Amino acid sequence: MVTRRAVVTGASSGIGEAVARELRQRGWDVVGVARRAERLAALENETGIVAFAADVTSATDVEALAGWLSGSGPVHALVHVAGGARGADRVEDGRAADWQWMFEVNVLSGQRLVSALLPLLRDAAASDGHADTVFVTSTAAQTAYAGGAGYNAAKAGESMLAHALRLELNGEPIRVVEIAPGMVYTPEFTVNRLGGDQAAADRVYEGVENPLTAGDVADVIAYALDAPAHVNLDLVTMRPVAQSAQHLLARGALSVRPAPGSHG
């Protein structure tokens, strides 16, 4: 039986780290990619992943990653988790530098990785039956909200990249999967988005019963990768039960309402 190897970006924290851990537990070989070499090294020591420090917004780093991968074994899956948000400003108040960063890390990084790694994915598919790409976008790609335009635009761009890639790969045994989470609690994402303001980040999740965790998202990604090769999960939108829509979030304990007309 072939041991499959996945490249997971953003593996030093949050969803990326959780995906690396989950795939290792399921018997995958994992190459964890992120900028923070020390965190990757610690994860390598703990789980047995192989760490490769790289900035996915750097063409030089992505080329170096592709070169190293080509000489170290097959690549059966690319799981692109690296991304992020900066700011919660209205369009009129937004900083162009923040928008540019979000486009670089969410969209252009995906294009660079596909361009560099698709030959390796094709080789693995030819020899072992199929290969996979997974893009972690967001419900922000589907529904705009005030103060989110930069992130909305970036994640919508990444989503369109995945949709177009799926069309372009039609006829090849390479799956293109998009996972779009809603509210996920991770220690860093919202704090980073809000410029390090921990109190403001805590208020985002205040009173919400069981936001999604990084592990929840990793479990769905692992399922998509381990599903039969002919089954493609084009788009999985996942939210906590407390979040019925982007704009509708229950704060406080979830409870069953009495049926209309009932007493007591």
The residues assigned a catalytic role are 151
* 243-245 and 248-249 beta bridge pairing: antiparallel
Q: Where do we find the tokens 């229950």? A: 250
DSSP 26: T
Residue 244 to residue 264: CA distance in whole angstroms: 27
Helix (H) or strand (E) holding 251, with range, is none
Nearest to 15 by CA among 114, 134, 161: 134
* Contact assessment for residue 190 and residue 140, using Cβ atoms and an 8 Å cutoff: no
DSSP H helical ranges for 48-134: 59-70, 96-103, 109-128
Q: How far is CA 65 from CA 20, 117, 131, 233, 246, in A?
A: 17, 9, 18, 27, 36
Both tokens assigned to 156: 């919508």
Residue 29 to residue 21: CA distance in whole angstroms: 10
Nearest to 92 by CA among 150, 48, 40: 150
* Contact assessment for residue 54 and residue 33, using Cβ atoms and an 8 Å cutoff: yes
